[in-house]
Each structure stands twice: as structure tokens, then as C-alpha cells.
Amino acid sequence: MRHKALAVSALAKSFNGRRVLQDVSFDVKAGELVAFLGANGSGKSTTLKCVAGLAVPDAGRIELDDSVLTELTGRQLQLARSKAAMVFQKIHLVPRRTALDNVCAGALARVSGLGSLSPFFFSRELREEAMGCLERVGMADRALERVGRLSGGQQQRVAVARALCQRASVLLADEPVSALDPNAAEQVMELLAELAHEENLAVAAVLHQPELAQRHADRAIGLLRGRIVFDGPVAALDQDVFDKLYSSERNAA
Ligand SMILES: Nc1ncnc2c1ncn2[C@@H]1O[C@H](COP(=O)(O)OP(=O)(O)O)[C@@H](O)[C@H]1O
Ligand SMILES: [Mg+2]
């Protein structure tokens, strides 16, 4: 059986007294790409944010690699959490810095004792590792280019390289291709699937288009009003599932 890189159980979250996640339990194994599907407001982003530490769950247990995040605090929590890296729709890179510098910055999440050093002073060793990550995403030839000059698809590749440089074992991607044209979207999805299958990463990706999930993901998890209503191989996604997930509009609870 494959190793569960991420295991979430009984996750619950409310905002201002309104339940947005209820009894959310799932896992993502090393080597698989899992697509999160669901209408706007169904709780997809909040689920990933709870794992990444950008939202604090009210209840539930989150296991990442061999650590139980929900039982850790302080530096231990920070280190354990660095095993998950987030890639967003809106690309969070520094546009005036080179691709290489941006990728090196991924290591900040795991490198201790940087103290007063500028976050843009990086050792040769780290720069070499970052070059390897850029190579992995097919961007080595643009390493010294300012990120702001790259296309959306290229920037998203750099963002993935930064996650690799963080040495994450779980990639959390929230609509990673929503801002890209169809070709670039296809390529970035291919890259994410490759990283899962070849590098044994666990990839959880919120996808706006179910067809992308059907083409690239191994498994899909469907959320409806903060609850999981589908969890199965993408081959099992059919019109009934899509009707359930998307046609009951005004999905908000
Ligand atoms: N920081 C927040 N404060 C209050 N409500 C929020 C916050 N973040 C998300 N929500 C609400 O939680 C619900 C789920 O949001 P979200 O997880 O972003 O959905 P999705 O990503 O599936 O579109 C929505 O109703 C949204 O308005
Ligand atoms: Mg969202």
C-alpha cells in the first residue's frame, strides 16, 4: 500500500458562526494527483488552507508525512508544515527578481537560522539545488530572467519549482491553471501529474474545470456545501456526480 503523505480526518471550520467545512476526511497518497472539485463556496480553498496553516480548523486531525500537525506548535509545527507547499492561481512570486532567486526563496520555509540575512542572499549550494528544480520544470534556460517578464504558464512552472526547492512532499495547488490559456493549463497539469507519478509527490489540486481532472488526475474529491460527497477514481466521475456538485447552484449553506 502506498504511503499516505496527507491524511485529514473530521475537519471542521466555521467563519463567523457559519459552518463551511464539516466532517471532511480524506487522504492523498505519495504518487497520486487528487483533484478537488465543487461549486464556488463549497470549501475547497478552505480545506487546502487548513492543511497549509493559512486557516485554523475548529476541529479535526491533519497528518502530514509522519507528523500530526494538529498536535504540534511553534518551530516543530513550522518545520513539519514545510513538507507541504502551496501553489496558487494568482502566482505569488516576486516579479522583479529572477526565476532562480524566486525558487531559492522556497527553501526559506525549511532553512533555519537565516536571522538577519536578506532573503535574497543564497548560498551556492542552494542556487545549484534551485537550478535543478528549474530544470525539472523545464525552465532552466530562463533562470536568470526576471519573473515579471515570463508568461503566465512559465511563471506557474517557476512557482512549482519553488515548491520543489522547499523539498515538500505534498503539493497543494489552488486553481493552479485557472489564469492560464488552455495550452499552458494543459502543460502545467501534465507537469503536476508527472511530479506525482515520477517524483512520488502527493499532489492535491483544486480544479475549476472537471475535464482537467478527468484528463490528468488519478482520483477526485467532490465537495458540496463543506462536505465530501464524492471520493473515487476519476473514471467514476459521471453526469450524476457533476449534477450533484454543480447544478444545485447557490451552493452556499
Ligand atoms: N476568511 C473568511 N472569512 C469568512 N468567510 C470565509 C472566509 N474564507 C472563506 N469563507 C467562506 O467559506 C465558504 C467556503 O469558501 P472557499 O473555501 O473559499 O470555497 P471554494 O474555494 O470552494 O470556492 C464560502 O462561503 C466563503 O465565503
Ligand atoms: Mg477557492
Q: Which of 25-29, 106-110, 130-134, 220-224 has the lowest mean pLDDT?
A: 106-110
pLDDT in tens, 4-44: 899 999 999 999 999 999 999 999 999 999 999 999 999 99
What residues have CB less than 8 Å from 104, skipping those under 6 apart? 120, 122, 126, 127, 130, 165
State the cell numbers at 118. 536578506
Q: Where in the chain is the domain with CATH 3.40.50.300?
A: 1-83+169-253
Q: What is the value of pTM for the model shown?
A: 0.92
Q: Is 41 in the pocket of ligand 1 (CB under 6 A)?
A: yes
| Pocket test residue of 20, 89, 227 for ligand 1, highest count of atoms within 8 A of CB | 20
Q: Just give the CATH number of 1-83+169-253.
A: 3.40.50.300
Closest ligand 1 atom to Cα of 16:
4
Closest ligand 1 atom to Cα of 43:
17
Distance between Cα 243 and ligand 2 center (Å):
19
The distance from CA 222 to its chain's CA centroid, rounded to whole angstroms, is: 16
State the cell numbers at 161. 519549482
Q: Is 20 in the pocket of ligand 1 (CB under 6 A)?
A: yes
> In whole angstroms, what is the distance from residue 18 CA to residue 225 CA?
11
CB atoms within 10 A of CB 29: 18
Q: Is 15 in the pocket of ligand 1 (CB under 6 A)?
A: yes
What is the dihedral sign for C-alpha 224, 225, 226, 227? negative
pLDDT at 53 over 70: yes
Identify the band that residue 109 occupies on the pLDDT scale cut at 50, 70 and 90. confident
